[in-house]
């Protein structure tokens, strides 16, 4: 009998050993290590906050609205959102931030300041001036106030709409 085979058999002296049980424990520990390494890699990739798994860009079917945002947030954390919109040249156009978004987040800052804003049943209406091509860019800093999944939308009044799905971790 080889030395390795003897090592993998139950013993009674000097200590009682159950090698079959020990092998199951080793497999369980190995699986735990794989789960832990996978979780760390997903965290580094942005599953719980900033990273390429979290960052996304969505464009409306009419191509008049593009939103860059993070899918995953931490409660109380501040994240950025960039909204690119297009309307008629040298005329104001209105962006509508959905009601569900306003329930889960509060706005820390808006750059540039909109020409006008109003709260409605649909959400927050922001009036922006377009440039000579009708384009405008809005930079928002959001603070996550809620917990869980928030499904909302951002729209150009009379134009395109994009869904915005965000998850806030505790």
Task: Assign residue 119 the CATH number of its domain.
Answer: 2.60.40.680
Tell me the pairing of strands 148-156 and 92-98: antiparallel
Assess whether 91 and 160 both reside in one domain. yes
pLDDT of residue 162: 96
**Residue 64 corresponds to which tokens in the numbers above?**
């008049």
Q: Tell the burial category of 132 from Cβ atoms under 10 Å away from its Cβ (0-12, 13-18, 19+).
A: exposed
Assess whether 19 and 61 both reside in one domain. no
**For the chain, what percent of residues have pLDDT higher than 90?**
56
Residue 121 has pLDDT above 80, yes or no: yes
Tell me what the pLDDT averaged over the chain comes to.
89
User: 57 and 162 in contact (C-beta within 8 Å)?
Assistant: no
Assess whether 77 and 40 both reside in one domain. no
Q: How many residues does the chain have?
A: 170
Q: Could you read off the pLDDT of 66-92 as tens digits, one per residue?
A: 999 999 988 898 999 999 999 888 889
Q: Which residues pair with 138 in a beta bridge?
A: 83
Domain-located, residue 129: yes
Assess whether 142 and 121 both reside in one domain. yes
Tell me the pairing of strands 161-169 and 72-74: parallel
Cis peptide before 112 (omega within 30 of 0): yes
Would you call 25 helix, strand, or coil by DSSP? helix
Q: What is the mean pLDDT of residues 101-107?
A: 88
Q: What's the whole-model pTM score?
A: 0.79
- The domain of 120 spans 55-169
Assess whether 75 and 12 both reside in one domain. no
Assess whether 134 and 63 both reside in one domain. yes
Assess whether 78 and 102 both reside in one domain. yes
pLDDT of residue 101: 87
pLDDT of residue 145: 86
* pLDDT grade for 10, boundaries at 50, 70 and 90: low
In order of 33, 39, 50, 52, 73, the CA distances from 36 in angstroms are 5, 5, 20, 20, 21
Counting other chains too, the contacts that 32-35 makes at CB distance below 8 Å and 24 or more residues apart are none
Q: How many domains does the chain have?
A: 2
Assess whether 13 and 74 both reside in one domain. no
Assess whether 67 and 140 both reside in one domain. yes
Assess whether 41 and 66 both reside in one domain. no
In order of 106, 109, 141, 149, the CA distances from 77 in angstroms are 11, 14, 10, 15
Domain-located, residue 50: no
């Amino acid at each position: 009998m080889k030395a390795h085979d003897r090592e993998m058999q139950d013993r009674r002296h000097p200590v009682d050993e159950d090698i079959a049980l020990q092998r199951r424990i080793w497999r369980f520990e190995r699986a735990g290590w794989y789960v832990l390494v996978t979780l760390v890699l997903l965290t580094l990739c942005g599953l719980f906050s900033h990273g390429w798994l979290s960052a996304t860009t969505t464009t409306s079917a009419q191509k008049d609205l593009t939103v860059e945002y993070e899918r995953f947030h931490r409660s109380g954390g501040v994240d950025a959102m960039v909204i690119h919109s297009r309307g008629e040249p040298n005329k104001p156009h209105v962006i509508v931030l959905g009601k569900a978004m306003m329930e889960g987040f509060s706005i820390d800052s808006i750059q540039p300041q909109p020409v006008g804003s109003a709260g409605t049943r649909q959400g927050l209406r922001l009036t922006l001036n377009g440039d000579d091509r009708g384009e405008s860019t809005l930079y928002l800093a959001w603070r996550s106030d809620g917990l869980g999944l928030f499904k909302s939308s951002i729209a150009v009044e009379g134009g395109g709409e994009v869904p915005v799905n965000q998850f806030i971790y505790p």
